[in-house]
Amino acid sequence: MLKVLAKIRRDHGATMVEYGLMVALIAVIVLVAVGPLGQAISALFDDVTGHL
C-alpha cells in the first residue's frame, strides 16, 4: 500500500513540474513572438498615419 501511495505522489509531483515547464515554454514563445509583431504593427500604423 505504501508503494502505491509513494508512486502516486511521485507522479503528481512530476506532473506539476511538467506543467510548470510547459507554462515557461509558452511564456518564452509569446515573448519572442510579440516583440517583432509589435514592431511590425507599429510600423504599419506609422505608414498609415503618414499616408493620411
Question: Could you report the per-residue pLDDT of 9-52, keeping only the tens digit for each?
Answer: 665 566 788 888 999 999 999 999 888 888 889 999 999 999 88
Overall number of domains in the chain:
1
Q: What is the predicted pLDDT for the residue at 25?
A: 95
Q: What is the predicted pLDDT for the residue at 7?
A: 64
| pTM score of the predicted model | 0.52
Q: What does the H/E/C string look like for 20-47? A: HHHHHHHHHHHHHHHHHHHHHHHHHHHH
Residue range(s) defining the domain that contains residue 36: 1-52
Distance CA 11, CA 4 (A): 11
- Cell numbers linked to 18: 511538467
Q: What is the predicted pLDDT for the residue at 19?
A: 87
